[in-house]
Amino acid sequence: MGKWILLFFLTFLANAGSAWAFSTGFNQAWLKNAYAHQWEDAYYDQSYVEQLFRLTEDSKAQILRIWLFEGSWLSQFEPDKRSGTFKIRLDVLRNLRHFLKTAKKYRVKINLTFLDGNSFQYVVDRPDLAQFWWNVFNNKYEKQKEFYEFAIRPIYQLIEKDFKDVVVQFDIANEVNAITQFHLFEDPKNAMSSFLCKMKEGSPAPVTASLGWGNAEELFFAGFLDQACLDFYDIHFYNDQGEISQCEKYKLLSQKNVVLQLGEFGQASADLMDDLQSFVTSQFLHKAKECGFQSALAWRLIDHREAPNPEGRFSYVTDDGRPRPAYWIFKDLSF
């Protein structure tokens, strides 16, 4: 891992004015209830985006994480007659621009996440999609290069040209280890490394591929992710104690200039409890710093879905815009 990435984070933290030398942020992931469609004209809502950034700025969070190609059914793309393949939909690019301009206005930095590993559960029963992703992940018939050229590279070019001071992180795939459960890799470790290294090419900001749920920590310490393909590591924790297991191991890695991010954290309980969320928020933020993580991103700023919404237990702000008690804990610890 190059020294420049550590310097990047240190510079970013200094510019953010954090007395902790530690960054906080929120996951938003998708807008309203528009998973896999949020960037389309029919779903994108600029007034809602403004609300998100006002809340993020008020909370003193430095980073907001948003997903781009979430959903594995390729709804963000359309056929391209000129290339004979596909291209990113024009409304997706246009609304992404609106979003990033708004981030710049509110001086919020962005983690842009390309894929959602958990969505690949929906591919297994769709032979056409399963074949597409098998070819991309395993570099069959030049499909990996094609996906990079027509999906990833245009985003890098957009950020390089207009938003290099806004997008400070890329996550190639949220909880990338989830993809391996669905048998889409011929040789999970080597094919994963090849895929991630290709997707990282030419990135204008540091790149990761986050690990979460299941055996994420086991895979991390086993070296499942090739260090040469990533600039920093991003790991997710959910429990009701706000604990980061194997804290000492992370601390030692941090002392060796390995950059770590607690990319998602939250409670494990299925109940909506203000006291629990407040406790878990405080614990995770303190533990992340203690264990050598450079940043921590809470899940989730607003989880906006039709009632009843059990996922609302993670929201720091209610659907009608009222901050829950944990929001104020987060804000107090984000100075």
Q: Tell me the three state secondary structure of residue 185.
A: coil
Per-residue confidence (pLDDT) for residue 320, from 0 to 100: 87
Report, in this order, helix, strand and coil percent for the chain, each rounded to 5. 45, 20, 40
Give tens-digit pLDDT for 314-330.
999 998 899 999 999 99
Spatial distance between the Cα atoms of 252 and 289, rounded to a whole number of angstroms:
13
Which pLDDT belongs to residue 81? 86
Q: What is the pLDDT of residue 12?
A: 46
Query: Which pLDDT belongs to residue 278?
Result: 98
Nearest to 222 by CA among 199, 197, 192: 192
Q: What percent of the chain has pLDDT over 90?
A: 87
Q: Of all helices (H) and strands (E), which one includes residue 329? A: helix 325-332
pLDDT value at residue 13: 46
Q: C-alpha distances in angstroms, 283 versus 54, 73, 238, 244, 326? A: 25, 37, 12, 9, 11
Phi-psi bin for 216: left (phi > 0), alpha (psi -120 to 50), beta?
alpha
Q: How far apart are CA 151 and CA 14, in angstroms?
A: 33
Strand ordering across the sheet containing 167-174 = 207-208, 167-174, 109-116, 63-67, 23-29, 295-299, 260-266, 233-238
- First vs last Cα of the chain: how many Å apart? 29
Neighbours of 136 (CB within 10 A): 21
Q: Do 261 and 295 contact (CB within 8 A), yes or no?
A: yes
Position with higher pLDDT, 9 vs 128: 128
- Which residue segments constitute the domains of the chain, with CATH numbers given? 3-332 (3.20.20.80)
Which of 291, 227, 285, 295 shows the shortest CA–CA distance to 261? 295
Mean pLDDT score, 241-267: 97
Mean pLDDT of all residues in the chain? 93
| pTM exceeds 0.85, yes or no | yes
pLDDT recorded at residue 304: 87
b/e per residue 205-229 (b: at least 16 CB within 10 A): bbbbbbbbeeebbebbeeebbeeeb
| Strand-strand pairing, 295-299 and 260-266 | parallel
How is residue 263 annotated by DSSP?
E
Beta strand 77-80 with 85-88 is: antiparallel
Q: Which residues pair with 86 in a beta bridge?
A: 79
- For the stretch 189-219, pLDDT in tens is 899 999 999 999 999 999 999 999 888 999 9
pLDDT reported for residue 1: 47
Of 125, 140, 121, whose CA–CA distance to 70 is shortest?
121
* Of residues 60 and 308, more confidently modeled: 60
User: Across residues 139-166, what is the average pLDDT?
Assistant: 97
pLDDT confidence bin for 21, thresholds 50/70/90: low
| HSE-CB for 153 with a 13 A CA cutoff | 11
Using one digit for the tens of pLDDT, what is the confidence trace for 84-126?
899 999 999 999 999 999 999 999 999 999 999 999 999 989 9
